[in-house]
């Protein structure tokens, strides 16, 4: 691991591990965030790609006709960047569902992007085919000892910079990051608890560790770890180390993204926030720990998705209310409702007033309000103020 750290020194940023009071209060333990979102490509994948390509060059092969990789985005950008730095041509195969922002960023590093297949497995098959056909060197995103060693430098830095850490939590897709970091932790801090975190729709590593059939699928905000086929090398390492992998609900991942954005001022993608999502979903596992290190390992989230997550979180927290009222269709009613909302401290951000088709009577109208409030108790007081005025209020 230290050899890999020396190999990538200067090519990969040594990122900070910072405490966050707001995140710690929400999590119920002291949380330290490893901000690999600050890497040039916005994710930890640079570590493994840099180490693999450095070894390729050191071997004298120089990449031959070039390198090829398959990825949903972050490994793609990492290989593209470090191949460009090494003067090696790169071809990246990405599934068709990959967010446009990741495709554009990968191409901006000079790689040729090929969109193929609906899953990572289908993209991988095509990447291997291109490697055989065109004489390219395949760089696997996680099932490669050199890549695993490079990813493990993340934990090496965390434990050197924050020796007070008592546990580590790392997102799991194919397993390279977890295996590498677990190896680093075992070498530096034998006995330290290390947890993996998978999103519930893609618990392939947890299923393989349990000896169960792999069953994955469905939409997820953590597309970067939406993996069916985990790496055999990391699987063997994780099993040998006895690492527990926690399966995290989709909602907890969304909550983690919002908490990082609002509480720590850190932008994280779904895969990058899944480690924190595990702490939020399983607080009992970490309540006794004094300091938990969490890898925030990717920040490449589409701005539209981020805005949707933040709004959904505001709704769940009761800081945005959707209210439906059946009101008398007469002058002054809307003004009275607006005055009551204002007096309760609410801010109306959207109004839909249906007079002709939605209401049950021609003498009434249906009103839908979107109201912003400070917190849930203020929202309850606002609804009570409307009901005191004789309005029947339904939550939407």
Task: Quote the CA–CA distance of 137 and 146 in Å, as a whole number.
Answer: 14
> Domain range holding 67?
46-138
Instruction: Enumerate residues 6+ apart whose C-beta is below 8 A from 388.
Output: none
**Residue 296 pLDDT exceeds 70:** yes
| CATH code of the domain covering residue 375 | 3.30.70.260
pLDDT for res 40: 95
Q: For residues 101 and 200, state if they share a domain.
A: no
pLDDT of 163: 96
Backbone φ and ψ for 117, nearest 5 degrees, come out as: 85, 165
Q: Which of 293, 313, 333 is the last residue of a domain?
A: 313
206 and 338 fall within a common domain: no
Report residue 82 as tokens. Answer: 């470090």
Number of domains in the chain: 3
Task: State the average pLDDT over residues 289-308.
Answer: 93
Structure tokens at 276: 């924190």
Other Cβ atoms closer than 10 A to 215: 11
292 falls in which pLDDT band (50, 70, 90)? very high
CATH number at residue 58: 3.40.50.1100
Using DSSP's 3-state secondary structure scheme, residue 379 falls into helix
Asked if residue 189 has pLDDT above 60, the reply is yes
What is d(CA 111, CA 79) in angstroms, rounded to the nearest whole number?
A: 9
Report helix, strand or coil for 203: coil
Window from 60-64, 110-114, 246-250 with minimum mean pLDDT: 60-64
Q: Are residues 203 and 305 in the same domain?
A: yes
334 and 375 assigned to the same domain: yes
pLDDT of residue 61: 58
Residues 241 and 287 in one domain: yes
Q: Please, what is the average pLDDT of the chain?
A: 92
280 and 155 both lie in a single domain: yes
The better pLDDT of the pair 208, 228 is held by 208
Residue 183 and residue 240 in one domain: yes
The rounded percent of the chain whose pLDDT value lies above 90 is 81
Find out whether 138 and 198 touch, Cβ atoms under 8 Å: no
Q: Is residue 258 pLDDT above 90, yes or no?
A: yes
* Same domain as 377, residue 235: no
Alpha-carbon distance of 176 to 193, in angstroms, equals 18
**Domain shared by 186 and 247, yes or no:** yes
CA distance 170 to 255: 17
d(CA 54, CA 175): 21
Residue that is last in its domain, among 284, 313, 342: 313
Residue from 30, 31, 28, 33 nearest 287 by CA: 28
Backbone φ and ψ of 73, nearest 5°: 155, -60
Question: Residue 39 in contact with residue 12, Cβ under 8 Å?
Answer: yes
Give yes or no for residue 364 having a pLDDT over 90: no
| 362 has a pLDDT exceeding 70 | no
Asked if 67 and 88 touch (Cβ cutoff 8 Å), the reply is yes
In this predicted structure, what is the pLDDT of residue 118? 87
d(CA 68, CA 78): 12
Residue 197 or residue 288, greater confidence: 197
pTM for this one? Answer: 0.89
Quick one: 129 and 149 in the same domain? Answer: no
Say whether both 358 and 377 belong to one domain: yes
pLDDT digit string, tens, across residues 65-108: 799 999 877 899 999 999 999 999 999 998 888 778 778 888 99
Q: What is the pLDDT of residue 302?
A: 86
Distance between start and end Cα atoms, the chain: 53
The pLDDT, as a whole number, for residue 353 is 80
Share of the chain above pLDDT 70, in %: 96
Of 138, 166, 189, which marks where a domain is finished? 138
Tell me: do 26 and 79 sit in the same domain: no
Q: Who wins on pLDDT, 295 or 362?
A: 295
Distance of CA 345 to the CA centre of its chain: 34
**Whole-number pLDDT of residue 361:** 55
SS3 content of the chain, % helix, strand, coil (to 5): 45, 20, 35
DSSP conformation letters of 235-288: HHHHHHHT-EEEEEPHHHHHHHHHHIIIII-----HHHHHHHHHHHH-GGGTTT
Any bridge partners for residue 332, and if so which?
none
Residue 27 above 90 pLDDT?
yes
Distances in Å between the Cα of 272 and the Cα atoms of 171, 199, 348 are: 7, 11, 34
């Amino acid at each position: 691991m230290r050899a890999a750290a020396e190999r990538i020194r200067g090519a990969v940023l040594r990122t900070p591990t910072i405490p966050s009071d707001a995140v710690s209060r929400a999590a119920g333990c002291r949380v330290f965030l490893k901000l690999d979102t600050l890497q040039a490509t916005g994710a930890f994948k640079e570590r493994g790609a840099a180490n693999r390509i450095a070894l390729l060059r050191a071997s004298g092969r120089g990449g031959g006709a070039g390198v090829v990789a398959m990825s949903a985005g972050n490994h793609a950008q990492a290989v593209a960047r470090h191949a460009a730095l090494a003067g090696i041509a790169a071809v990246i195969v990405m599934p068709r569902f990959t967010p446009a922002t990741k495709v554009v960023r990968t191409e901006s590093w000079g790689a040729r992007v090929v969109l193929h297949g609906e899953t990572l497995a289908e993209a991988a098959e095509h990447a291997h085919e291109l490697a055989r056909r065109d004489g390219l060197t395949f760089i696997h995103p996680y099932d490669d000892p050199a890549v695993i060693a490079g990813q493990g430098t993340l934990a090496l830095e965390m434990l050197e910079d924050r020796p007070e850490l008592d546990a580590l939590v790392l997102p799991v897709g194919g397993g390279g990051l977890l295996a590498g970091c677990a190896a680093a932790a075992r070498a530096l801090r034998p006995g330290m608890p290390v947890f993996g975190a998978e999103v519930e729709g893609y618990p392939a590593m947890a299923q393989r560790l349990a000896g169960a059939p792999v069953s994955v699928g469905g939409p997820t905000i953590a597309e970067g770890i939406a993996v069916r086929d985990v790496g055999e090398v990391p699987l063997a390492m994780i099993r040998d180390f006895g690492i527990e992998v926690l399966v995290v609900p989709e909602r907890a991942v969304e909550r983690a993204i919002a908490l990082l954005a609002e509480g720590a001022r850190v932008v994280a993608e779904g895969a990058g926030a899944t480690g924190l999502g595990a702490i939020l979903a399983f607080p009992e596992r970490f309540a006794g720990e004094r300091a938990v290190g969490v890898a925030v390992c990717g920040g490449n989230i589409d701005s539209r998705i981020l805005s949707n997550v933040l709004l959904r979180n505001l709704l769940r927290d009761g800081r945005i209310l959707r209210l439906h009222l059946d009101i008398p269709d007469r002058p002054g009613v809307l003004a009275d409702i607006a005055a009551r909302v204002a007096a309760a401290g609410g801010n109306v951000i959207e109004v839909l007033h249906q007079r002709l088709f939605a209401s049950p009577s021609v003498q009434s109208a249906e009103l839908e309000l979107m109201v912003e409030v400070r917190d849930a108790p203020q929202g309850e007081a606002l609804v009570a103020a409307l009901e005191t005025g004789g309005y029947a209020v339904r939550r939407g």
